[in-house]
Protein backbone atom coordinates (compact mmCIF):
# COMPACT_ATOMS: atom_id res chain seq x y z
CA UNK A 1 0.00 0.00 0.00
CA UNK A 2 1.51 3.40 -0.95
CA UNK A 3 2.30 5.89 1.76
CA UNK A 4 0.48 9.19 1.87
CA UNK A 5 2.85 12.16 1.94
CA UNK A 6 0.29 14.93 2.35
CA UNK A 7 1.19 17.40 5.10
CA UNK A 8 -1.24 18.56 7.75
CA UNK A 9 -2.95 21.89 7.20
CA UNK A 10 -1.49 23.31 10.38
CA UNK A 11 2.20 22.48 10.83
CA UNK A 12 2.34 23.49 14.49
CA UNK A 13 -0.87 21.83 15.67
CA UNK A 14 -0.30 20.14 19.01
CA UNK A 15 -3.54 18.18 19.10
CA UNK A 16 -4.73 16.32 16.04
CA UNK A 17 -8.18 14.75 16.16
CA UNK A 18 -8.85 11.26 14.94
CA UNK A 19 -6.90 8.02 15.10
CA UNK A 20 -5.76 8.05 11.46
CA UNK A 21 -4.85 11.75 11.46
CA UNK A 22 -2.70 11.19 14.54
CA UNK A 23 -1.00 8.24 12.86
CA UNK A 24 -0.44 10.26 9.69
CA UNK A 25 0.93 13.24 11.64
CA UNK A 26 3.29 10.99 13.59
CA UNK A 27 4.63 9.14 10.53
CA UNK A 28 4.94 12.18 8.22
CA UNK A 29 8.42 12.29 6.64
CA UNK A 30 9.40 15.92 6.05
CA UNK A 31 12.53 15.10 4.01
CA UNK A 32 10.55 12.86 1.66
CA UNK A 33 7.93 15.57 1.17
CA UNK A 34 10.62 18.10 0.25
CA UNK A 35 11.90 15.73 -2.45
CA UNK A 36 8.39 15.56 -3.87
CA UNK A 37 8.29 19.36 -3.99
CA UNK A 38 11.53 19.41 -5.99
CA UNK A 39 10.16 16.93 -8.52
CA UNK A 40 6.88 18.86 -8.87
CA UNK A 41 8.86 22.07 -9.37
CA UNK A 42 11.00 20.46 -12.08
CA UNK A 43 7.90 19.26 -13.96
CA UNK A 44 6.36 22.73 -13.66
CA UNK A 45 9.47 24.37 -15.14
CA UNK A 46 9.59 21.78 -17.93
CA UNK A 47 5.95 22.39 -18.86
CA UNK A 48 6.25 26.19 -18.74
CA UNK A 49 9.41 26.28 -20.88
CA UNK A 50 8.63 23.60 -23.45
CA UNK A 51 4.86 23.14 -23.37
CA UNK A 52 2.60 20.66 -21.63
CA UNK A 53 1.25 18.91 -24.70
CA UNK A 54 2.93 16.20 -26.74
CA UNK A 55 2.81 15.94 -30.52
CA UNK A 56 3.38 12.17 -30.69
CA UNK A 57 0.47 9.73 -30.62
CA UNK A 58 2.24 6.47 -29.85
CA UNK A 59 3.24 5.94 -26.23
CA UNK A 60 6.77 4.80 -27.11
CA UNK A 61 7.37 7.97 -29.12
CA UNK A 62 5.77 10.10 -26.37
CA UNK A 63 8.39 8.74 -23.95
CA UNK A 64 11.14 9.70 -26.39
CA UNK A 65 9.66 13.18 -26.81
CA UNK A 66 9.55 13.70 -23.03
CA UNK A 67 13.12 12.44 -22.72
CA UNK A 68 14.20 14.90 -25.41
CA UNK A 69 12.45 17.76 -23.62
CA UNK A 70 14.18 16.81 -20.36
CA UNK A 71 17.59 16.72 -22.06
CA UNK A 72 17.01 20.13 -23.65
CA UNK A 73 15.82 21.50 -20.29
CA UNK A 74 18.95 20.22 -18.55
CA UNK A 75 21.22 21.69 -21.25
CA UNK A 76 19.35 25.01 -21.00
CA UNK A 77 19.79 25.06 -17.22
CA UNK A 78 23.48 24.12 -17.52
CA UNK A 79 24.09 26.98 -19.96
CA UNK A 80 22.37 29.43 -17.61
CA UNK A 81 24.72 28.40 -14.79
CA UNK A 82 27.88 29.09 -16.81
- b/e per residue, 13-25, with b = 16+ CB within 10 A? eeeeeeeeeeebb
pLDDT for 61 beyond 60: yes
* Range list of H helices, 1-82: 19-27, 30-50, 59-81
Q: Give the residue with greater pLDDT, 36 vs 70.
A: 70
pLDDT for 8 beyond 70: no
pTM of the model: 0.59
> Residue 76 and residue 74: Cα distance in Å, rounded?
5
> Residue 50 and residue 76: Cα distance in Å, rounded?
11
- Assign 60 to helix, strand or coil: helix
> Using one digit for the tens of pLDDT, what is the confidence trace for 14-45?
666 778 777 777 777 777 778 888 889 989 99
Domain extents in the chain: 1-42, 52-82
Amino acid sequence: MPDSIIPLRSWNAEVVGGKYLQEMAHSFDDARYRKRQLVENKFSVLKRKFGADLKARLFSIQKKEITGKMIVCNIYRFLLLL
